[in-house]
Structure 1
Amino acid sequence: MLLSFLNNKGRQDEDVDRLFRNQLLWVLLLRVILYTLLLVFSSFFQESPLSAIYFIRQDFLLYLLIIVVTASCFSSYSLLSGEKNLIQFCYLQIFLDTVFASLLIFFSGSVNTTLTSVYFFPIIAGGLLLPYRGGLFAAAAVTLEYGLLLALDLHALLPLLPDTKSGHTTIDITTGLNGFAIHGLTAFLAAFLSRIFGKRLQSAEIALKDSKKELNRLTTINKQIIDNIASGIFSVDGDGVITSANNAIEKITGLNPSTLPGKNIYQVIPGIDLDTKKIRHTIDFVKDTGIIRIGYTCIEIHSGDNRSDNATRPDMIINLRDVDQIESMEKQARQKEKLAAIGMMSASIAHDFRNPLTAISGSAQVLVDEFSPAEQDGTNHELAQIIVREAERLNNRIGDFLKFSRPENISCQWFSLAGCLEEVIEVLQINPNWSQTVKVSHNFKPALDVWGDQNQLFTVLSHLMQNSMLFCPQGSERIHVCSKEITTADNSEMLEISVADNGTGIAHDGLDKVFDPFWTTRVEGTGLGLAIVRQIVEAHQGTVEVSNDGLMNPEGNSGALFTVKLPIPEIDS
């Protein structure tokens, strides 16, 4: 903290030093301009009626101007080369200005010349540069030097004017004392006034410097805030030209924000509408990775004088947001509402239908045992079997509803993936709906273990393999299960399990809907099997995806490929 304070103080001292040097340079320049103008005016009024006021020997004035210019050049060189003690340097320049003014009066030949007003230059300059002592120092020097000139005039030691024929006219002592008092009082009064203006100017400069520093600080903070906002922000003028863009623009649109200022907003975001009165708008934006949905809002900036003459609208702030994520969240919210409704419905179904179904199934099973397949051509026996089968199917559907609407809590442990797959195949093979021509292959280490709930992951593999079998060509069904460990972009370890088939694949418009509840392409399907798969996988903090990159089918196309990724927990050493 101390180092930071010293650095800030050092920067402030450098700023003050640079400002003071610039002011001194301006004083030196004004000095040269003043004496140059005196030479010009003296030459211009040489033969005019005002010659008595402005007259001074041209050679003397020229020599004085050369001295002034030479002294100013040396002073400027010393100042620019790094003069260390600026206060002493300032006092020296104030004193030189009083001396130059006294020489000017001396060579004019009279202390009553109007050129005595030149004394105000060092007094005012001293009061502005050094408000506390500079003006008083100049006033004291001017008073003493003018008193010396009065003394020289009393003793007739001032040079004669070239056209004076009757000798030098001197002043008496009373007139001299009166002039000394008046000029001294005037000099100190000017010094006090310049001191007041100098202090106010210094205070104004300090306040302006602090305001500038605060403005820069607030500008930096505002820029950092805007650059770290997740929403993309454009500012455009009344002609639609972009004046600024934050960093989030690149994340949303893929455009480099540093290249956008100066471009027209209609070229950068085609289809954007700045004239509509709607509060929120949405448009499709073509990005390198595809088409995304963008939402935007427009806010007018009424800043007064910053509009161009030809502008058709006020300056505006445009707030962009990728609404794909918002729409996904809304979809999830609707999904949760739907699940809540399913939960209430499934509870009612379980209560109202399961007990009667159990009674129907049990009674039908008794009838199956009593009726002989040969009796009445086996019609009663066949009908009783249909009742048992359909009651069991309804019972399974109710079970799917319950499983999806009220998922069980997971209990993770390590278990063998090969052992789980063997159990799944055994259970599927005794299912009457499972084709006996299905060939299941796998590619993973026999000793590979999985971290998760074995019963629920059993359900995942069972649903995926049943779904694959239903779309495979009859008589040549092939299902391949593969597993491997992968490393994600954030360096986390995951287990990837993929189930591929040689079926017909999934239509392009169904890839995004296949895991949605109740979405199915089969008449007898409920659309809950794959929804249960995603629910179980997400409960394990994993992901499940689908693509048409499976096994080749007889038609020369690829079947479906379901990929499940499950996190691998770190094992404490």
Structure 2
Amino acid sequence: MDNTTSEQATVGRHPGEGETTFDRAEERTNLNLFLGYRVVVATVMVILFFAIKRGPLGTHGPELFGVVAVVYSVLALSALMWNLARPLHVDRQAILAVVIDIAAFTLMMQTSGGVASGLGILTGISLTLAATLLEARFALGLAALATLAVLVEELWSELHHAFPATRYVEAGFLGIAYFALVLLSVTLTARARRSEELVEQRETELVNLAQLSDYVIQQMQSGIVVIDREEQVQLLNEAAWSLLGMPTQMRHHPLRAVSPRLAEAHATWREDPERSVTALRALPEGRDLRVQFNRLGRGGSAGTLIILEDTSRLTQQAQQMKLASLGRLTAGIAHEVRNPLGAISHAAQLLGEAPELSDTDHRLVDIIQQNSARVNEIIENILRLSRQDLPHPKPLVLGPWLDTVVEALRGACGLSAEQLGYEVEPYNTTIHADPGQLQQILEILCDNAKRHFPGDAGDLRILILAGANQRSGGPFIELQDNGGGIPGDVADKLFEPFFTTRNEGTGLGLYIARQLCEANRARIEYHPLPQGAAFRLSFPNSRRRTLT
């Protein structure tokens, strides 16, 4: 089967028959246009015949022509009004309309001089319009009926000597023209419908791709910001929102309202496009960012793609690659070291129980036991890193959760209710996190505050604040203490592994806390206080997941 035949075979199939996706509403509109065209033709016929006194119309039967013109006008108008009021099946209405046109135009042609009157072209137009609504077999059948009507009209005229000469050749060519017009209309309609279906398919694919791209962008760890030539933000993913300090203004707001410092960096880049990469800090207490600007499009309408990278995360990724190999090595070593370490510790304990030891020997035994315990703690932390479990996040309402956890923290860290307090506002603030790992983070921070407190242990005060950030609405948990604070030259190294300011420390506590935070999609930051220190855990705002 060739292409033309294949196209013809698929024309006019309805969704209910499962052979096309052509829109029925559009078919109904095309039918109304066809019926409206018939009303216009009927009106013109009536005006030409009755108002302009016939002219070439009805020269061989004016009475019959007038009756046919009036009846045709009434039928054409009735069909249009009926279809607008109570739509019927498109195929049936189109076939009925064409049959009426064939009968009416054939009678008008017979009363106006036969084929030579030129009225046969009106039948051709009706066939062409109807072919856009019908299956090929129905359209070709109507073309055959119209051809037969023209030939019958010429035969009747010859039998009744209605005209001086009959025109069978012209009638035959007119019939061929009917078939040609129908075939052309069927073929073009088929191609148009196939093109429309292809466009709809492409539109669906584009929508799906847009949704996929949006999902991928939102899940990216790099911050993505897209602005137009007017510096209006068109897209802002969650990572960018977090890196820029969780601004309240987002899409369709000026870049300067979202992040003034980023807007200044963008203005500098526009003046010197060669400097496409720069560094900035979006907020005074925020993180250091690596910013890359890329032009989108050409000419004056070009927008800008801004990529934000947390420099600490880049450094951490490189560090994690080192630690991954180091972890595998140290985990194996740790298992091998624990056995002799246990033997040393046990031997020192037995040696310390000997009655004949001098005070100096007892002191040396204590040193052995203390350092054995320290080495064992280091080994435990290393093993904990190497076998860290995946988080199992679930919704946690901070108020009730802290009611239980704070009591456990007081017992684990040896703190009284006066020393460890908490406040939650609002009480029903909800986060998504692994409750066990989140409690472990708070235990590390409480233990860290207790170990580094410079004064009397009874004077230590720890306050846990939780709730929603007033500026961004994002949930947070902040642990504050009244200790001596952290020197500025040390603050940048707090979360590095094995960094400690105490001889007996392992330097892994805060590093583990940060690892657990990142596993739960939270961010931990240090903020100095006038007296003491604060560690804040910031969580994604579940009510503002979609930022584009």
Q: TM-score, normalised by structure 1?
A: 0.54
- Gapped runs of 5+ residues in structure 2? 1-14, 332-357, 388-407, 421-435, 438-442, 469-476, 538-548
Which of 317, 320, 323 does residue 329 from structure 1 map onto?
317
Greater CA drift, 512-521 or 207-216: 512-521
Q: Which amino acid is 1:219 matched to?
A: L
Alignment-derived partner of residue 97 in structure 1? 101
Alignment-derived partner of residue 505 in structure 2? 529
Secondary structure, counterpart of 1:129 in structure 2: coil
Query: Cα–Cα, structure 1 residues 114 and 333, in superposed 2: closer, same or farther, change >3 Å?
Result: closer
Q: How does 1:414-453 map to 2 (within 5 A)?
A: none
Q: Is the 8 A contact 2:528 2:534 kept in 1?
A: yes
Alignment-derived partner of residue 85 in structure 2? 81
Q: Is the 8 A contact 1:101 1:116 kept in 2?
A: yes
Which of 246, 252, 255 does residue 260 from structure 1 map onto?
252
Larger Rg: 1
Q: Deviations over 1:209-263 (max 9, x none)?
A: 33133213212221221221123555666x45669536546566546898429x6
Q: How does 1:112-123 map to 2 (within 5 A)?
A: 112-123=116-127
Secondary structure, counterpart of 1:311 in structure 2: helix
Q: How does 1:351-430 map to 2 (within 5 A)?
A: 404=378, 407=381, 409=383
Q: Deviations over 1:308-330 (max 9, x none)?
A: xx6265x6655555555444434
Alignment-derived partner of residue 203 in structure 1? 190
Which of 311, 319, 327 does residue 300 from structure 2 map onto?
311
Query: Cα–Cα, structure 1 residues 200 and 508, in superposed 2: closer, same or farther, change >3 Å?
Result: same
Which of 447, 452, 467 does residue 467 from structure 1 map onto?
452
Q: How does 1:162-177 map to 2 (within 5 A)?
A: 170-171=163-164, 175-176=165-166
Q: Deviations over 1:322-357 (max 9, x none)?
A: 5554444345557779999999xxxxxxxxxxxxxx
Q: Which amino acid is 1:329 matched to?
A: Q
Alignment-derived partner of residue 31 in structure 2? 24
Secondary structure, counterpart of 1:151 in structure 2: helix
Give the number of the structure with larger relative contact order, counting CA–CA contacts within 8 Å between residues 6 or more apart. Answer: 2
Distance 1:208 1:60 in 2: 46
Aligned-residue offset at 1:510: 4.7
Q: Is the 8 A contact 1:465 1:499 kept in 2?
A: no
- Give the alignment's Cα RMSD to 1 decimal: 6.3
Which of 505, 510, 518 does residue 485 from structure 2 map onto?
505
Alignment-derived partner of residue 569 in structure 1? none
Query: Cα–Cα, structure 1 residues 18 and 259, in superposed 2: closer, same or farther, change >3 Å?
Result: same
Which of 240, 264, 273 does residue 276 from structure 1 map onto?
273
Greater CA drift, 210-219 or 68-77: 68-77
Aligned length: 437
Aligned-residue offset at 1:26: 2.2
Q: Which amino acid is 2:486 matched to?
A: I
Q: Which amino acid is 2:145 matched to?
A: A
Percentage identity across paired residues of the two chains: 14
Q: Which amino acid is 2:317 matched to?
A: M
Q: Deviations over 1:2-27 (max 9, x none)?
A: xxxxxx86998785432332222222
Alignment-derived partner of residue 149 in structure 2? 144
Distance 1:11 1:317 in 2: 45
Distance 1:151 1:515 in 2: 105
Secondary structure, counterpart of 2:289 in structure 1: strand
Secondary structure, counterpart of 1:293 in structure 2: strand
Q: Deviations over 1:341-387 (max 9, x none)?
A: 999xxxxxxxxxxxxxxxxxxxxxxxxx9xxxxxxxxxxxxxxx9xx
Q: Deviations over 1:520-547 (max 9, x none)?
A: 77xxx65x72724446778999999877
1:217 matched to 2:197? The reply is no
Q: TM-score, normalised by structure 2?
A: 0.56
Aligned-residue offset at 1:132: 1.8
Distance 1:56 1:218 in 2: 62
Q: Which amino acid is 1:209 matched to?
A: E
Distance 2:66 2:227 in 1: 60
Query: Cα–Cα, structure 1 residues 506 and 482, in superposed 2: closer, same or farther, change >3 Å?
Result: closer
Secondary structure, counterpart of 1:101 in structure 2: helix
Alignment-derived partner of residue 294 in structure 2? 298
Q: Is the 8 A contact 2:485 2:533 kept in 1?
A: yes
Aligned-residue offset at 1:36: 5.7
Q: Is the 8 A contact 1:98 1:119 kept in 2?
A: yes
Distance 2:233 2:412 in 1: 61
Q: Which amino acid is 1:84 matched to?
A: L
Alignment-derived partner of residue 374 in structure 1? none
Aligned-residue offset at 1:78: 2.3
Query: Cα–Cα, structure 1 residues 136 and 408, in superposed 2: closer, same or farther, change >3 Å?
Result: closer
Q: Is the 8 A contact 2:289 2:310 kept in 1?
A: yes
Q: Is the 8 A contact 1:139 1:187 kept in 2?
A: no
Query: Cα–Cα, structure 1 residues 316 and 462, in superposed 2: closer, same or farther, change >3 Å?
Result: closer
Query: Cα–Cα, structure 1 residues 19 and 520, in superposed 2: closer, same or farther, change >3 Å?
Result: closer
Query: Cα–Cα, structure 1 residues 138 and 545, in superposed 2: closer, same or farther, change >3 Å?
Result: closer
Q: Is the 8 A contact 1:98 1:142 kept in 2?
A: no
Distance 1:499 1:251 in 2: 22
Q: Is the 8 A contact 2:494 2:510 kept in 1?
A: no
Q: Is the 8 A contact 2:277 2:293 kept in 1?
A: yes
Which of 187, 192, 204 does residue 179 from structure 2 map onto?
192
Distance 1:287 1:9 in 2: 60
Query: Cα–Cα, structure 1 residues 243 and 186, in superposed 2: closer, same or farther, change >3 Å?
Result: farther
Distance 2:82 2:205 in 1: 38
Aligned-residue offset at 1:192: 2.9
Aligned-residue offset at 1:207: 1.6
Alignment-derived partner of residue 3 in structure 1? none
Distance 1:510 1:68 in 2: 97
Q: Is the 8 A contact 2:56 2:112 kept in 1?
A: no
Distance 1:149 1:255 in 2: 84
Q: Deviations over 1:283-306 (max 9, x none)?
A: 5464799566364453655xxxxx
Q: Deviations over 1:114-144 (max 9, x none)?
A: 3343332233334443322324324423532
Query: Cα–Cα, structure 1 residues 403 and 201, in superposed 2: closer, same or farther, change >3 Å?
Result: same
Secondary structure, counterpart of 1:198 in structure 2: helix
Q: Which amino acid is 2:277 matched to?
A: H
Q: Deviations over 1:44-67 (max 9, x none)?
A: 9999xxx77998999998886665
Query: Cα–Cα, structure 1 residues 289 and 60, in superposed 2: closer, same or farther, change >3 Å?
Result: farther
Greater CA drift, 53-62 or 97-106: 53-62
Secondary structure, counterpart of 1:228 in structure 2: helix
Q: Which amino acid is 2:187 matched to?
A: R
Aligned-residue offset at 1:89: 1.7
